[in-house]
Chain A
C-alpha cells in the first residue's frame, strides 16, 4: 500500500507534540482507571450498549462538553495569535487549521450533539412516551456521530487537519490547492456524523408523530417538543444535500472527478450553493431547539404559560420554511445579479418577522409573571438582549448591497457569534441547569452557576463586541495576522482579554459539574422548579421505563394543571402493568467503530483497506436484519418497588403508591 510513515504523525510543532503526549497519557489514564475500578463491564452494559434515550442523551451531552473544550481551545489559540499585530505564536498554516477545526467542531460536534442530547433526554418524557420510536437506531445515531467526531478530532495529530475553513470552499479545498489529506477528514468524518444526524431527524419525527401520550394533540405539545419536531423535519430536508455535497467532494478529492475543480470543467460555485443549501437550514437546526428550551425555561420561572402559543408555533414553521430559501445571502458577492440578490435580501429580512414575534412573546410571557432568577433563567434572560444584537446585525447583513461592505469581515464573525452563542450556547446551558436534576437526581450548584453565568456572558460580550467595529474598519476574517499600522491592535487585545474571561466562565462550569457530583444534595424533589410539563411528573433521575402509568393530557402545561387540580399524581397498585422495553445491543457501537475504521482508511486513501472495512459495515447490516430480539418485560413487582422508592419521600408531590 506504500504507507508513508514519516508523514503519518504531525511533527515539528511543540503545541501539537504536547497534545500528542497529552492525548496518549489521557488514554492510558482512562484505560488504567477503568481497569483499576473494574468498571469495564458496567461501562459496557450500562452505557456503551444502551438503547435508553436518557443515557444516550447523557452520552451526547458529555461528548458535546468535551468538544466544547476542544473547540474552545482552538478559539483561545486564535485569540492569542491575533492579540497583537504580527504575532508569531502560530504560523499561518497552523492558524488556518485551527479556525477550520474550531468552526466544524463548534457547530457539528458541540452545538448539534448538545441539543440532540437534550432532545434525547427530554422529548420522550415531555410527550409521555417510554422511549423514542426506534431505540436501537437512536444508539446507532449516537455512535455514528461519535465516530465521525473522533475521526475529525484526531486529524491534527495524525495526517494533518483540514485547513480550508469550516465552509471548505472549492477550489481551495480540492486537491489542486490542498493536496494533503487534511480535507479528506472533512469529507469523510462529516459524512459519517451526518448519517447519524439524519437518522436522529427521522427518529424524532416518528417519535413525536406516533408516540405522544393520550390526549396530547399537536397543539398541546410543549414548545420544546414543537421546535424539536420542526428541527427534525429540517434535518431530513437539509442533511441529504450535505450528504450529496460531501460525496461529490470525496469523489473530487479521492478519485479525480471534476465537480468543483478549476480544471476539467468543474464549477466551484456549485459547492458554495450546495454547502449553504444545507448550511443555512443548519443554523436553524441548532437555533430552533434552543428557542424551545428558552420557551420552557421562561414559562417555568415566570410561573406562567407561554404567551401566544399559537403564534409561537406558526413562527417556528415560518422560520423553518424561510430558512430553506435564504442560502444565497452567504454569497451576495458572487455576482449573481441584482434580481437574485434582491430576492434573497427580502427572504432573509423576512426571517426577522417571525423571530421578532417570538422575542415579544417571550417578553410578554414574563410580563405579569413572578420571575425567579435561577441560573437557568439567567441564561434565558441574557439571551434576549444579546440575541437582539445578533438579530439586528443579521438584518443589516441581509441587505445585499450593504453586505458588500460587511462580507467576510469580522463584522460578520461578530454577528454569527452573537447569534450562535446566545441562541445556542446560552440555551444549552439554560437547558442543562434546568434539566440536570431530572437527569441525575441532584442540582447543579446555583452559586457556582451564577459565577459561570456572569463570567461567560461578560467574557462573551467583551470578546465579540469589538469585532463589529474591527470589521467595519476593514479587518477581514481568517487572517492569521495584521499589521501594526492597521490600528486594529487595541480592539484585538480587548477581544483576546474577553476570551480569557469567557474561558474562565467555562472552567467554572466544569468545576460546577465536578462539585455538584461530589457534594450536591441528593435528597431533592422530582419537581424542584415547580415546572409545567410532563417530564417533571416522574422520578428524578428518571426510572428506565419513564412512566409506570402513561399520563393523560388535557391541556397545555399538563403537569401544572395536574398539580393544581391534584389529579393523576398518584399511582394505584391496580394501575401497574407489565412494561415492554427494548434490549441493549452491541451493534450500534460496533457500527460506530467499523465506520470509524473504514473512514480512517478512506481518509488516507488506502482504498483496499477501506473496502475490507466496508465489508464489516455490511456484516453489521446483515446481522441486524436477522436480529429477532423482541426486548423484555418489566415485572409488576419491580415497577412497584421502583415507584415506591421515589414516591415515598418527604415533600414529594406524588403521593406514594397506595
Chain B
C-alpha cells in the first residue's frame, strides 16, 4: 500500500502541471463558467471525502496490521454500532444535498439564455451533424457554413441541433457543455463567448470511421466583424443546391465550405417526417456484407413522403400536421 501511495504521489506533480491548462477549467463564456463553478464546488466536497477515507484507511491498516508482537491478540467480537452507522449514513446524505441543490439550479439555468444576457436578442443557428462534418445554417442571415461557425461575442447563441445521420454530440468545451444531435429530433443549446477568439468544437459521440476528425472551429468575433463577415458571405459565397447538398451528406471529410443560402429551404432534418438521407452502400467496409433494406422515406425515392399505411389519400401538404404525432411520440 505504501508503495502504491508513493507512486501516486510521484505522479501528482506531473498531473497538476498538465492540469494547469485544462479546457474545462478555463471557461470562455458564462455557460461554461457556471458548469466550472459547479465542478469546483463538487471537487471541494469530493476532496474532503477522499481525505477522510484515505486517512481513516491508512490509520486503521497501519495500526491493526499483524505484527510479530501481536500474534496472540484475539480481536473482540463486535457486530456494529448504531451511532456510528447513523453518522456515516447521515453525513453522506448532507453532502449529497449540498451537491444536489446547485446541480438542479444549474440544470434549469442551462436551458435558458444565461443570466445577464436575457435582454440581448439571441441569434439562432441551426446545427446539422452529418458523417463526418458539421453544417451550420443561419436562417436569419440566410447563410450556411460547413465545419466552422462564426458568432458575435457577448451575444447568446441558440443552437438548434439535429442530425442528418447518426446520434452525435455537439461540444465546445471552452464555451459550455454538450448535447446530442439526433435525426428527426431537435435539441437546443445556448452558448455565449465572452471575447473574440477561436474555440475548438467536436463530436463526442462515436459515429464510425471518421469520428476522430469530426471537429469544427467556433470563431467569436466583435459584432462589427461578424456583420461584415455575413455581408461578405452573402456577396461572395456560392449558392448551395439540393444536389450538392446530397453530396455533402455522404460519409466524407470536408474542409470549410460557405454558402449564401441554407439547406433549410428544402429539408430540416429535425422534422420527424423529413426524408431519411441514408446511404448504406457507402458504408460497406471489410468483412461479410449483410442485406440492406429499401425504405419508402429514403431521399432517393421519388414517391411522396408517406409512411406505408398512413396518409395515402391525403395531400402531402397536410401530411405532416395530421400524422406527425402518429409515429413520433416525442
- Taking Cβ atoms with an 8 Å cutoff, the residues of A that contact B are 4, 7-8, 10-12, 92-93, 96, 159-161, 163-165, 169-172, 175-182, 184, 253-254, 256, 258, 261-265, 267-269, 272, 302-305, 307-311, 331, 333-335, 337-338, 341-342, 345-346, 349-350, 352-353, 356-357, 359-361, 363-364, 366-373, 378, 381-382, 384-385, 388-389, 392-393, 395-396, 399-409, 454, 457-458, 461-462, 465-466, 469, 472-474, 476-482, 487, 490-491, 494, 604-605
Among B34, B70, B80, B179, residue most surrounded by chain A Cβ atoms (within 10 Å): B80
Cβ-defined contact, A474 with B280, below 8 A: no
**Given the complex of chains A and B, what is the CA–CA distance between A575 and B97 in angstroms?**
59
B170 to A, closest residue via Cβ: A333
Contact: B42 with A396, CB < 8 Å? yes
Residue from B19, B291, B297 in contact with A263 in the complex, judged by beta carbons closer than 8 Å = B297
- Whether A181 lies near B289 (C-beta < 8 A) is yes
Flag whether B315 is at the interface (Cβ < 8 A): no
Q: Which residue of A lies closest to B65 (CB)?
A: A371
Which of B23, B165, B286: most chain A Cβ within 10 A? Answer: B286
CB–CB B66/A474 < 8 A: no
Given contacts A307-B79, A395-B99, contact A404 B35 (CB under 8 A): yes
Chain A contacts of B88 at CB under 8 A? Answer: 356-357, 360
Interface residue B167 (Cβ < 8 Å from any Cβ of A): yes
Most buried by B among A258, A262, A389, A480: A262
Interchain CB contact under 8 A, B77 and A371: no
Contact bitstring B13-47, A, C-beta under 8 A = 1, else 0: 01100110111110000001011101100110010
Chain A interface: which of B53-61, B113-121, B140-148? B53-61
Complex interface: chain B residues within 8 A of A392 (CB): 46, 49-50
A264-B296, A308-B80, A401-B38 are known; give 8 further A-B pairs, CB within 8 A. Answer: A265-B327, A337-B111, A356-B88, A364-B60, A385-B5, A388-B54, A399-B99, A605-B291
Task: Determine whether the beta carbon of B79 is less than 8 Å from that of A305.
Answer: yes
B81 interface hit (Cβ, 8 Å): yes
Please give, as numbers and ranges, the residues of chain B lying within 8 Å of A310 by CB-CB distance.
80
A-B contact pairs, 29 of them (CB 8 A): A96-B208, A160-B286, A171-B166, A175-B291, A178-B208, A179-B284, A181-B289, A182-B287, A262-B183, A334-B187, A350-B96, A352-B92, A352-B96, A357-B92, A361-B85, A363-B57, A363-B60, A364-B84, A371-B61, A385-B53, A385-B54, A389-B50, A396-B39, A396-B42, A404-B176, A457-B4, A462-B7, A476-B202, A477-B204
- 3 smallest CB-CB distances across A and B, nearest first, come from A404-B177, A160-B287, A263-B276
A308–B83 Cα distance when bound, in Å, is 11
Residues from chain A with a CB closer than 8 A to the CB of B205 are 169, 408
Across the interface, A178 reaches (CB within 8 A) one of B177, B283, B297, namely B283
In the assembly, what is the distance between CA of A253 and CA of B291, in Å?
Answer: 8
Q: Is B184's CB within 8 Å of the partner chain A?
A: yes
A305-B77, A310-B80 given; A93·B285 CB < 8 A: yes
Q: Smallest Cβ distance from A257 to chain B, in angstroms?
A: 9
Q: B288 contacts which of A370, A477, A604 (Cβ < 8 Å)? A: A604
Our pick among B39, B49, B76, B89 for the contact of A357 (Cβ within 8 Å) is: B89
- Residue of B35, B65, B92 with highest tally of chain A CB at under 10 A: B92
With most chain B CB atoms within 10 A of its CB, the pick from A11, A159, A366 is: A366
- Residues on B with C-beta less than 8 A from A364 are 60, 81, 84
CA A487 – CA B92 in complex, angstroms?
37
Residues from chain B with Cβ under 8 Å of A604 in the complex: 288
Tell me the complex Cα distance, A458–B185, Å.
45
Docked complex Cα distance between A352 and B97 (Å): 12
Among A4, A256, A272, A404, the residue within 8 A (CB) of B293 is A256
Q: Which residues of B contact A179 (CB under 8 A)?
A: 280-281, 283-284, 289-290, 292
Judging by beta carbons under 8 Å apart, are B180 and A176 in contact? no
User: Which residues of B are interface residues toward A (Cβ below 8 A)?
Assistant: 1, 3-5, 7-8, 11, 14-15, 18-19, 21-25, 32, 34-36, 38-39, 42-43, 46, 49-50, 53-54, 56-57, 60-61, 64-66, 70, 73-81, 84-85, 88-89, 92-93, 95-96, 99-100, 103-104, 106-108, 110-111, 131, 165-167, 169, 171, 173, 176-180, 182-185, 187-188, 200, 202-212, 272, 276, 278, 280-281, 283-293, 295-298, 307, 327-328, 330
Is A490 touching B18 in the complex (CB atoms < 8 A)?
A: yes
Chain B residues with CB under 8 A of A605 = 290-291
Q: Do B78 and A368 touch across chains, with their CB atoms under 8 A apart?
A: yes
Asked whether, in the complex, the Cβ of A371 is within 8 Å of the Cβ of B64, the reply is yes
> Which residue from A159, A334, A367 sits with its C-beta under 8 Å from B287?
A159
Contacts of A4 in B (CB 8 A): 288-289
Contact of B328 among A267, A308, A384, A388 (CB under 8 A): A267
> How far does the alpha carbon of A256 sit from the alpha carbon of B34 in the complex, in Å?
45
Q: How far is the CA of A285 from the CA of B263 in the complex (A)?
A: 48
Residues of B within 8 A of A182 (CB): 287
Q: How far is the CB of A395 from chain B (nearest CB, A)?
A: 7
